[in-house]
Chains A and B, each alone.
Chain A
Amino acid sequence: MFSKRLIKLLGVLLAFALVAAACGDDDTGETTATTTTAGGGGDDTTTTVDDGDGGGVMVDDFKLGLVLVGPKNDRGYSQAHFEGAEYVIDQLGLTEDDLIVLEFANTTDTPGLSLPGTAQDMVDLGADLIIFNSDDMRDGAFEAAELIPEVPMIWASGDSAWAEGKDYQANLTNLKNTWGKMTFGKMIGGCAAGLTTQTGELAYLGPLTNDETRRLVNSAYLGARYCWENFRGEDPADLAFNVTYIGFWFNIPGVTLDPTQVVNDFIDGGADVTLSGIDNNVALIRSGQRAEAGENLWGVPYDFVGACDEAPDICLGVPYFNWGPAYLAAAQSVIDGNFTADWKWSEPDWSDINNPDTSVVGYARGPGLSAENAAFLDTFIAGLADGSIELFQGPLNWQDGTQWLGDGEVATDFQVWYSEQCVEGITGVCSVNVFG
């Protein structure tokens, strides 16, 4: 009896599998059609770059490939890129099918991932421009650009296309770098922190240690120190600013420090404002939880314009990237056939740093910022805009006491970009030798 039931069960299972497998033809057709169309797009791009004669891509055929280190909804760095890519699609009048996205492009989440392979897949799907959004993708972006030289690509945070830079890759003529001067955004966030702190102790949750992250920590500290001293009339020596780097752009259990625990340590150590430099919003969320329990805490998140929404009451504002305009310009250059592999480090649009169509860096104020401090912040931003406030100006020493900028000396872009150390006044290990 049981054997007969078993055969019936087998029959039902197999029939279910076959029937189910036969479903969804519509989806299949759509996918196939997309693939076919996309292949043509990729070929068009090939022509553009190889010919160098001004040939481009029809707008309707344009497709954008986006490789994200994290999820597209991380309320942080990757989401900012994703929304920038969506801006491009909207502005060009394209549809969601014209945006090809890969999330979690890191070796921890996706061990078998090959970035050149991903790029080739995107080209097969018709991508005319591919964006690698993370510093962590350096080697993979180089390999991809070398493997597919006819397809324009952007490595968002690098300096490979900067002829005067330390990592210039002259042979990669299809790889562009795009970056905003977040130094200003961090200065503004630091200023808001310096204006608000009651304990005089600020903390910075750093990702990994490199030139970029030191540059941003320095910017935040200098902004905080300026406002602490000039608007509050306090002694800079009384302002504590501690940084702890977790080891990567986001938390990897067992590999990086746990950012939640680091924030707890900051708060337990007396810091009442935590600025975040990592890719997600852990710092603000944790501070918000403890604030709800009755502690006087504030936070300055990073990267994403909507980051304050996670804990609005304690949010002093967020310095954010607005990738849309820069990516749109790059996409338009591909369409027009004049894409150039250059290095762009763009300033905010000082006429309105929150203009979504023009400013690559912005600062979205949070409800946690008082009206009085908001007025000071306006003055500070105006000073940055007209150049009357120059924070990368000597005398400035490195953290180890050696001189970085002499009296009155203003740092060049090169000096700021390649920040070897944190500046004097910041505590915490900023050097590469994290083990002393």
Chain B
Amino acid sequence: MSRVNSVLLPAAVVVASVVGLLLLAGTNPWDPLKIIVEGSIGWPPLEEGAARKVGDTFMVWVPIALASAGLIVTFNAGMWNIGIEGQIIMGAIASAWIAREISVSRPILVFLVILAGAVGGLLWGLLVGVLRTAGGVNEIFGGLGLDFVALSLTTYLIIGPWARSGVASTSGTDPFPEDSYLPALGAIKLSPLAVGIALLALVGVWLLFKGTLYGLKLKAVGRNRPSSFLLGIPTNRYLLGAFMICGALAGVAGTSQALGFHQRLIPAISGNYGFLAILVVLLARFRPFLVIPISFFFAMIAVGSSSLQLRLDVNPSLGGVLQGVLVLSAMFGLGWAGYRALKEMSASEAKAGSG
């Protein structure tokens, strides 16, 4: 019964919610799902000629996965790193600066843009941490404020110092020099390097909490900070470390966006993938390997949703609504399942006690 509770119940709630939503949108429930798959990886999946779609989907998956990996660290440290959007943006800005200003051989340049992205995100994440630990500013408010600062800085750069020749527009900068792009497979934008980094990040985060003392202490800080402090763990240092790790990974996500997917800087360079990653991590229950399929599913929706309008003439925002409904209904289902499990446990304990 507990398996029914933990798997079937959330699944049923998700399926019913999605089907209900699609019916409300006035469309056959099966078609949109099929079209999203077709628009993101081809139908049948991975059909011939779907390479571009698959490439785009992977390049959307990369920033979500990287941000999710980072968020697992801060969540385990008990921190809600809402500032992850700003960290993605600052990573993108730092990478863009290197791409625009530095002229060296391609391998070195690619290394530098990735490093710059990591450093840019790390420093922005550190700032959230410093505000939290030294200034007593709640990380949610501090992070949100820094998100706006990062967005404003992007807009300033795009319309000011980095403006296109003869144009002052928030539409974006000129494309960066091609040598700075993340190496891709031919004409499609899929960068095996970016995908590899994202996978490595998830494995690294898994190892961090499975096999290192640092990870264990970080978890302890997240579970009970006062006790951890009394046991001799420098909790503030650990919190700062969590923000720096998360910021660095988010920064590389920004690099992937700026030098991989868009190949220029735009105001919406984060794609809101930081916020989306928060939902991914919650759905994955902080398990790095579950992040892989869940974030890929969300990447498919992000890439495939424009096909909805082309083929069904429904509003493209349906994809975003679908994401929201999926997350909400899954969270509801999981919460309900957890509640049921707890209730059953206490009932059986009471029965054993009376017996």
Interface residues of A (CB under 8 A from B): 3, 6-7, 10, 13-14, 16-17, 20-21, 23-25, 27-28, 31, 34-35, 100-105, 107-114, 116-118, 120-122, 125, 135-136, 139, 147, 208-211, 245, 247-248, 252, 254-256, 420, 431-435
Contact = CB atoms under 8 A, between A and B. Distances in A.
Contacts of A431: 168
B215 interface: no
A112 B167 contact: no
B16 A16 contact: yes
Nearest to B154: A255
A10 B4 contact: yes
A121 B166 contact: no
Contact of A6 (B9, B20, B23, B303): B9
Contacts of B140: none
29 contacts: A10-B4, A13-B16, A16-B19, A17-B15, A20-B23, A21-B29, A27-B28, A35-B311, A102-B306, A102-B309, A104-B316, A107-B172, A108-B267, A111-B302, A112-B305, A114-B189, A121-B39, A147-B187, A208-B167, A208-B171, A209-B169, A210-B167, A210-B169, A245-B168, A248-B171, A254-B148, A255-B267, A255-B268, A435-B156
Interface of B: 1, 4-5, 8-9, 12-13, 15-16, 19-20, 23, 27-31, 39, 52-53, 56, 60, 148, 151-152, 155-156, 159-160, 163, 165-172, 175, 187, 189, 262, 264, 266-268, 271-273, 299, 302-303, 305-307, 309-313, 315-317, 340
Given A10-B4, A23-B28, A122-B310, A211 B166 contact: yes
A121 B29 contact: no
Nearest to A247: B170
A254 B160 CA distance: 16
A356 B131 CA distance: 62
B163 A432 contact: yes
Contacts of A122: 310
A125 B308 CA distance: 12
A169 to B, nearest CB: 14
Given A13-B16, A27-B31, A110-B306, A247 B311 contact: no
Contacts of B39: 121
Contact of B310 (A121, A147, A433): A121
Given A13-B13, A23-B29, A101-B309, 8 more contacts: A27-B28, A31-B311, A103-B309, A210-B168, A248-B170, A255-B170, A432-B165, A432-B168
Nearest to A114: B56
Nearest to A255: B267
Contacts of B151: 254-255
**Residue of A14, A110, A121 with highest tally of chain B CB at under 10 A:** A110
A215 to B, nearest CB: 12
B281 to A, nearest CB: 19
B52 A112 contact: no
Nearest to B175: A139
A135 B15 CA distance: 41
Contacts of A211: 166
B12 A17 contact: yes
Given A20-B23, A107-B172, A112-B60, A125 B310 contact: yes
B166 A432 contact: yes
